[in-house]
Amino acid sequence: MSLHLGDTAPDFAVESTRGPIRFHEWLGDSWGMLFSHPADFTPVCTTELGAVARLGPEFRARGVKVIGLSVDSVESHLRWEGDVGETQGTPVDFPMIADVDRTVSELYDMIHPGASATSTVRTVFVVGPDKTIRLILTYPMSTGRNFAEILRAIDSLQLTDAYPVATPADWQPGEDVIVGLGVDEEDAARLFPHHRVVKPYLRLTGSPDRAPASA
């Protein structure tokens, strides 16, 4: 099954390190990040679990629930969490799905035979509160993910959901944004009175979620 941006994230019922989970029910009205790992007790994955655990407050501040997955069992995941805590200096504070029968991996097309016939590649799905897939990232097994970049992308997704803007290359929260192409100049002047026109198709404005500086 090939998933695309805007598709409804497939629902599933699984066992996890935090007990049984039905994905849509577990998400509720929150954003979610589902991320897969090739296998337990592997070096790159161990550092990734530690990175996400350390960033837990950042995900929670954005209203994002985090859930991991690999094709190993709950018992294996729990033993692995001990190694993560020992080597990465932080406990794993989010559930890990035990996808032993690879049901979720196949639903989300996480197994790429060119890389491995049995292990999931490093895939990230960001799911919106409406249960649609908002971001898909896939990394090879040899490359650890940059979760600071994933947080930056979530910041962009949440900002552009709330306002008719887009974010430019290398944007960071608080920096100028682009007035959306669907906003005509009359509306742009009303919504973003301090915007500046670089080209008719490239209009910049201060981030609308930040209060303007006082005079």
Domains of the chain, earliest start first = 13-143 (3.40.30.10), 163-205 (3.30.1020.10)
Q: What is the per-residue pLDDT across 155-204, written as a single tens digit (0 to 9) for each?
A: 999 999 999 999 999 999 999 999 999 999 999 999 999 999 999 999 99
45 included as an active-site residue = yes
pLDDT of residue 211: 54
> 151: how many CB neighbours lie within 10 A of its CB?
18
The residue-averaged pLDDT of 120-128 equals 88
Statement: the pTM of the whole predicted model exceeds 0.75: yes
CA atoms within 13 A on the CB side of 50: 18
Higher pLDDT, 209 or 111: 209
Chain mean pLDDT for the chain? 92
**Which entry of 14, 21, 45, 84 is annotated as an active-site residue?**
45
pLDDT of residue 98: 95
Alpha carbons 13 and 25: distance in angstroms, whole number: 10
Residue 13: pLDDT band with limits 50, 70, 90: very high
The neighbouring-strand residues paired with 138 are 123
Under DSSP, the state recorded for 213 is P
